[in-house]
Structure 1
Amino acid sequence: MITLISILFCCSLSAVQVGGMAGNQIYYGRFPNEFFFGTATAAYQIEGAWNEDGKGENIWDRFTHQTPENIVDGTNGDIAADSYHKYPEDIKALKELGVKFYRFSISWSRILPKGDASQKNPKGIEYYNTLINELISNGIEPMVTLFHWDLPQPLQDIGGWANEVVAYHFADYARVAFAEYGDRVKWWLTLNEPWVHGNFGYGVGSYAPGVKLNGIANYLAGHTMLKAHTLAYEVYQQDFKASQKGKVGITLDSFWMAPKTGSGADQDAANRAMQFQLGWFAHPIFSKEGDYPAIMKQKIAERSENEGYPRSRLPTFSPEWINRIRGASDFLGINHYTTFQVSAGSGNSPLFLDAELDQSYDDSWPKTSAPWLRVVPWGLRSLLNWIKKEYDNPPVIITENGCADSGGLNDTQRANYYRSYINEMLKAINMDGCNVHGYMAWTLIDDMEWIDGYTIRFGLYSVDFEDPERPRAAKESARVYAEIVKNRGFPEPQQQRIEL
């Protein structure tokens, strides 16, 4: 006897910690018609060809070559995924995913080997022209990041971002990029994660260029990077916007900082954490009043005085610069991966000493291969709502979001990570009215993950780094992401008949 029954099919989402603004229930719905999907990469992490065709040395070349002990496995990005030569395979992967956007970065040293604009490298310029043209011919829109941590070494030799003159060299570099590629590139990002680059590169010194002046050089670097972003934005507005009609934004990273308890002290600590991370760079650009967050200025000034400094370790913007920086962005790029618990304290992290708070994880949050990355999907929705409230709902693009593992094609945790985080983003858009326009998965292919080398993987596509040919292979997460992209979200489950 055959019986016909109706059953519901739905996506499999791993249970997550219930808290913040959302639980672990899937929300069925689709993204707005204008919403776009893509993936993201960075030049140093995938290109290789570190000294080919006239490319100059950058700080990660110097950092990994001279002090390989700083990298977990002693490796470098000399070859990486060899995308300099194998970019057609990357474009093939993008087409398989069905995405319409690809965020990649230009290697500053590849087109301006000395860092300044005195010498252009024709072969480097040609490489990105070819990549951009191939993307467009395959129906994929380029989104270009100008700086993804790979400062030309000659500019570091004069102090790097701690020297304000580098901001003007960056503006010159941006002008070259706009002039060469802006007729086809309509989406630009000036800087990637200045909080990470400033703190890890110039504060604790674990990343290139390895400067260890926490509480001083990291604030100087951040100050210069905000000016650099603004100068580049002004170059585009004044000389290119009218003819090219593109948009220029900045990518900032932010964890969600959840108060550990409901106490007022922990609530205040969580807010300080948000202001000391996202607010450090977002408040000067996106707030109505501009300048650094008031709590950040207050805390650093107080601690500086107690330490015997004659003035605050945090540099001061002139009224002119406050006005120039405020509003100098067409959209806000957000890189988000995980959530921290925050409580009042003396500071158990060197990154938040001046904020006077402690960070921890809830033991129930699932671990990944990256010690700092726990799976907490509702944190993304909470973050987007905080941005909506704090900065009057600016246009946001999620420019990175992804999950780390140790490799392999059957990456179930990453597949579920994408399902759950993208679903929380959909809730933020459709249920909360957050102004989110696009999503870039990190990352298209396995890459050189900075000081972790090749010990952890983030790619939708696997790369065999033991094979000189660097073959790519789709993972389970690629299939899942492609399905979400094709469906433009999470459609209602279909009733289907099954014979038993």
Structure 2
Amino acid sequence: MTKKIKKFPKNFLWGGATSASQIEGAWDQGGKSITLTDLEPFLERKNKTDTSFVWHKTKDNYYKSLENKEGLHFPKRHGIDFFNHYKEDIALFKEMGLKIYRMSISWARIFPNGDEEKPNIEGLNFYKNVLEECKKNGLEVMVTIIHFDYPLPIMEKYPAGFADTKVQEMFIKYVKVLFDNFAKYVKYWLPVNEINIASFFPIIGLGYFPEKAANPKSFIDKQKVEALHGLFLTHARVVQLSKKYENIKVGCMVADMLIYPYDCNPINIIETMKMERMTKYFFYDVIAGGEYPGYYLRALKDASIDLNISEDDKKLLKYNSVDFISFSYYQSSTLSVTDQNEKVGGNIAGWGKNPFLKATEWGWQIDPIGIRYILTNLWERYKKPLFISENGIGVIESLDENQTVNDDYRIDYMQKHFEQIWEAIEDGVDVFGYTVWTPIDIVSAGTCEMAKRYGMIFVDYDDYHNGTGKRYKKKSFFWYKDFIKNNAL
């Protein structure tokens, strides 16, 4: 018997994704202001699945970080020093054969305080140089406009976040500067990274400090609802603004945290449906569907919250839905309200363990079939082109005697996910690209560590940034290069 060659569409965009706060470093250079992510320290913990300290920070915690009387290390201030190594790194991306590079731009480098009259020229020049380098190396670029790294001066001066129209106007001004300067380099734009994280943790998702301590999984409170509405309107205005430029496409980016009912008990099935609505579909419905869904309006009514959505607001959302949908996908979990099932770690939120799946050292359950399930649901629900903007596996790794990492587990992870993407495409789902998280080792978003390595290029730093910073190609580097060249499994 001969193996079947599974070819992907000719112009499929295979690539890799990073974020500014996790790679750039140079946190106090080039006129940049301090950001929320610059204030997240590395903290030792008992085990890799202990995430009790992650994201649950308060305003007081951040100001303690500013003082730093404990002498803590802040990894995202250093990243992997992409600020000074971008030419080398982009050359490696080209060598790997990437067709597209998804990167983010730091708002704090362009408008350090948010309300300046003119943008910071040093910041604009840095990103122009990066984009020129991408163009020189034949890389298409997708830009995330805000990736959790809100400038602290904006948060201090405008505590309501996107509920404040001044913040909305500052963001639109920032976006216009990016479009004016970089539209010739960048076709694909994502206004907000993992926009639904706002439901869980408004500090990083909406850029404000909550007025009072609240259950992070309580999705309806007045402050959050008002800030979310402001963010949705701002998102739609970005789409509206993009229509004035040639060849720009604007998408959404949602953390697609797939949840299965733990069993076939109808109660668990309906509760899973409710949870998926509030944690992800609500965001797709507003940004891709163009309107607030009835289940969310009911939730507002039950909470006695009146958003007073105007007819102009409704029209803005309806006529400025996104051109394409993108999402991150790392794992799936289960939900039960009738029985206690063991909890697992995950990307921001962890629900129940699935006995049929294996998990990483951080408790993230590996579920390649889930990506096909998501792609199919999104296509059938919204009929918009789909792009997988994050997918990958974090593993503890070290260089061997040959100065490489034999990461067959990463190759296996990617291959099994690619098989399911191919299956979805064969079913008629419109998927046009994939960016692995990540092409190169970075500082972990949630745990602020280098030990959790996602890349196909090893970067010689430990959790405290001891090391040379040199780059080394892992086995997966060459596998991905060969796969992209053949565009087939």
TM-score (norm 2): 0.83
The aligned counterpart of 1:3 is none
Q: Find the counterpart in structure 2 of residue 488 from structure 1.
A: 487
Q: 1:358 to 1:405 in 2, by over 3 A?
A: closer
Aligned to 1:34: 11
Please name the residue that 1:377 is paired with: 368
Which stretch has the larger CA shift, 273-282 or 59-68?
Answer: 59-68
Within 5 Å, which residues of 2 pair with 1:53-202? Answer: 53-64=30-41, 66-67=63-64, 74-157=73-156, 158-159=158-159, 160-202=161-203
The CA deviation string for residues 220-270 of structure 1, in whole angstroms up to 9 with x for no partner, is 332222122111111121x32xxx322111211112222222333333223
CA–CA separation in structure 1 for the residues paired with 2:199 and 2:340:
19
- Aligned residues of 1:347 and 1:358 also touching (Cα < 8 A): no
Structure 1: which amino acid aligns with 2:421?
Answer: M
Relative to structure 1, the CA distance from residue 88 to residue 163 in structure 2 (aligned partners, 3 Å threshold; closer, same or farther) is: same
Q: Which runs of 5+ in 2 are unaligned?
A: 42-61, 344-348, 399-404
Tell me the residue number matched to 1:307.
none
- The 3-state SS of whatever aligns with 2:119 is coil
How far apart are the structure 1 equivalents of 2:388 and 2:340? 29
Q: Give me the whole-angstrom Cα distance separating, in 1, the residues matched to 2:373 and 2:125.
A: 42
Matching of residues 381-392 of structure 1 within 5 Å = 381-391=372-382
Residue number among 392, 396, 421 corresponding to 1:402 in the alignment: 392
Deviations 1:340-375 (A, max 9, x none): 11234699999xxxxxx993121331111323x210
Match of 1:297 in 2: 297
Does residue 1:52 correspond to 2:29, yes or no?
yes
Q: Which has the larger radius of gyration?
A: 1
5+ long unaligned stretches in structure 1: 1-6, 11-26, 305-310, 351-356, 491-500
State the 1:113 CA deviation.
1.2
Task: Classify 1:274/1:53 alpha carbon distance in 2 versus 1 (closer, same or farther; 3 Å).
Answer: same
Number of aligned residue pairs: 440
Counterpart residue number, 2:477: 478
Distance 1:365 1:209, change over 3 A: farther
Structure 1 counterpart SS, 2:26: coil
Q: Secondary structure at the match of 2:309?
A: coil
Other-structure match for 1:435: 430
From the superposition, tell whether residues 415 and 315 of structure 1 become closer, same or farther in structure 2 (CA, over 3 Å): farther
Deviation at 1:59, TM superposition (A): 1.8
- Tell me if 1:459 matches 2:455: yes
- In structure 1, distance between residues paired with 2:351 and 2:102: 31
Asked if structure 2 preserves the Cα contact closer than 8 Å seen for 1:188 and 1:249, the reply is yes
Query: Does the CA contact (< 8 Å) of 1:275 and 1:293 recur in 2?
Result: no
Structure showing greater relative contact order (alpha-carbon pairs closer than 8 Å, 6 or more residues apart):
1
Give, in whole Å, the separation in 2 of the partners of 1:165 and 1:347. Answer: 45
AA at the equivalent of 1:404: G
* SS of residue matched to 2:358: coil
CA deviation map 1:37-68 (0-9, x unaligned):
11000000000000101111222224547445
**Counterpart amino acid of residue 456 in structure 1:** K
- TM-score calculated relative to the size of structure 1: 0.81
Aligned residue for 1:343? 336
Q: In 1, distance between residues paired with 2:423 and 2:150?
A: 38
TM-aligned CA distance change 1:413 to 1:485, over 3 Å: same
Equivalents in 2 of 1:181, 1:93: separation in Å? Answer: 23
1:332 maps onto 2:331 in alignment: no
For residues 254 and 52 of structure 1, the distance between their equivalents in structure 2, rounded to whole angstroms, comes to: 34
Amino acid at match of 1:396: L
Does the aligned pair in 1 maintain the 2:24–2:82 contact within 8 Å?
yes
Aligned amino acid, residue 382 of structure 1: Y
Distance 1:446 1:459 in 2: 4
After superposition, the C-alpha distances for 1:250-295 in whole angstroms (9 at most, x for unaligned) are 21111222222233333322322221122121101222xx433322
Q: Name the SS for the 1:333 alignment partner.
A: strand
CA contact (8 A) 2:17 2:439 kept: yes
Q: CA deviation at 1:319?
A: 3.1
- Asked if 1 retains the 8 angstrom alpha-carbon contact of 2:341 and 2:353, the reply is no
Letter in 1 for 2:336: S
State the AA in 2 paired with 1:280: F
**For residues 475 and 221 of structure 1, do their structure 2 counterparts lie closer, same or farther at Cα, with a shift above 3 Å needed?**
farther
